[in-house]
């Protein structure tokens, strides 16, 4: 049951603020949402007894080190994780 709850929490978070700040560049929102996602992944890994921060940092480094010609040739999961961590 925990897996379903964690998956739903990561995928379909309901908005908790009823105001949207306009006037900031899209990059600011992109960084903020990515930072929040990394934090959620860290928490999920921590509940399973792993060092969440180290795992996320390692995933970011591995994704950044991927050769450009290999992008788009991996499995669906590989490409999804690459887009999340780069």
What are the domain boundaries of the chain? 24-85
Q: What average pLDDT does the structure give for the chain?
A: 77
Take residue 74 and report the two structure tokens written for it. 């991996």
The pLDDT assigned to 53 comes to 92
- Which DSSP string corresponds to 1-56? -HHHHHHHHHH-PPP--S----SS-HHHHHHHHHHHHHHHHHHHHHHTTS-HHHHH
Write down the residue that tokens 């990059």 correspond to: 27
pLDDT of 72 reads 81
* Structure tokens, 68: 């450009």
Q: Report pLDDT for 23.
A: 63
């Amino acid at each position: 049951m925990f897996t379903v709850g964690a998956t739903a929490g990561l995928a379909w978070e309901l908005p908790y603020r009823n105001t949207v700040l306009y006037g900031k560049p899209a990059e600011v929102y992109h960084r903020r949402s990515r930072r929040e996602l990394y934090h959620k992944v860290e928490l999920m890994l921590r509940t399973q007894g792993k060092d969440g921060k180290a795992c996320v940092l390692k995933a970011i480094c591995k994704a950044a080190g991927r050769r450009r010609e290999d992008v788009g040739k991996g499995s669906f999961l590989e490409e999804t994780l690459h887009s999340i961590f780069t």
